[in-house]
């Protein structure tokens, strides 16, 4: 069974453990997902079964849009509600100050990712070192904050929405906002609304071949060569420039790469989408 769809990941479930539920629900053993959500986060998670699990790296999944709640006065080493270690009462802010602070993050942003993240440090995940109370030295990363705005402020909770480039840590955005305001704060909720064109629609099956970030190429040779995975000659392709392409035969799609006049398969005999 080859399917691709978007699930609404529930709170306090890891993305990986939630796949057990998906396997049982759809009666399949081969399930994968793209774009891990933290356990406390909810929302859009792209899931695929069968052959379609091979397509994640080729999907157009950016920009990503999130809604988050920042809890002013709460402190957490992981920058989320799972590890809150102190809560302080702080005076309310002028809503305009918070709105301006959030808006100031729009554009190119350079910052440190959370210490509790999957970034590798000396061969180990940063969160593993943090849990062992070891020093975590991370390098700054760059993100593009395409749009960010305050949705509502009901002290001590600030609700905001952000559309960002892939790899952006919303927990870090919350920490930057807190630093600019001069107080402790942590994310108490995080919901991913969409990844590129992908959004939750009651797990409606998606045609993945309509959402690839690679161009199509036309093969004018014998379809049987693609159907059987035989070696392909560049002379039969419409576009002969170096690159990665999607090509179609009567029954399958394949992803091929052209490099220095040589054609090779990246993925072959991917079944066409059908309901």
Residues annotated as catalytic (active site), given as ranges: 38
Burial letters 88-97, b for 16+ CB under 10 A, else e:
eebeebeeee
DSSP state of 57: G
- Helical packing angle, 170-181 and 95-103, nearest 10°: 130
In sign, the C-alpha dihedral spanning 253, 254, 255, 257 is negative
Instruction: Report whether 222 contacts 250 (CB < 8 A).
Output: no
Q: 201, 204, 196: which is closest to 65 by C-alpha?
A: 196
- Which residues 6+ apart lie within 8 Å of 157 measured at CB? 69, 70, 71, 72, 188
Work out whether strand 185-195 and strand 42-49 pair parallel, antiparallel, or are unpaired.
parallel
């Amino acid at each position: 069974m080859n399917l691709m769809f978007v699930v609404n990941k529930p709170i306090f479930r890891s993305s990986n453990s939630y796949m057990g539920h998906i396997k049982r629900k759809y009666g399949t053993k081969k399930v994968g997902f793209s774009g891990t959500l933290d356990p406390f986060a909810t929302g859009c998670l792209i899931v695929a079964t069968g052959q379609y699990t091979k397509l994640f790296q080729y999907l157009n999944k950016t920009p990503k849009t999130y809604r988050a709640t920042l809890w002013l006065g709460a402190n957490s080493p992981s920058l989320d509600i799972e590890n809150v270690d102190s809560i302080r009462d702080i005076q309310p802010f002028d809503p305009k100050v918070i709105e301006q602070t959030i808006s100031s993050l729009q554009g190119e942003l350079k910052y440190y990712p959370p210490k509790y993240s999957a970034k590798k440090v000396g061969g180990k995940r940063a969160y593993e070192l943090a849990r062992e109370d070891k020093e975590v030295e991370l390098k700054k990363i760059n993100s593009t904050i395409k749009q960010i705005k305050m949705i509502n402020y009901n002290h001590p909770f600030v609700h905001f929405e952000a559309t960002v480039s892939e790899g952006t840590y919303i927990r870090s955005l919350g920490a930057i906002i807190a630093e600019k305001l001069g107080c402790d704060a942590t994310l108490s909720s995080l919901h991913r609304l969409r990844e590129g064109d992908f959004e939750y629609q009651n797990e409606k099956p998606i045609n993945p071949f309509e959402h690839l970030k690679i161009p199509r190429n036309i093969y004018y040779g014998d379809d049987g060569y693609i159907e059987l995975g035989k070696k392909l000659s560049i002379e039969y392709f419409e576009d002969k420039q170096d690159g990665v392409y999607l090509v179609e035969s009567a029954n399958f799609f394949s992803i091929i790469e052209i490099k220095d006049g040589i054609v090779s398969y990246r993925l072959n005999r991917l079944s066409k989408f059908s309901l």
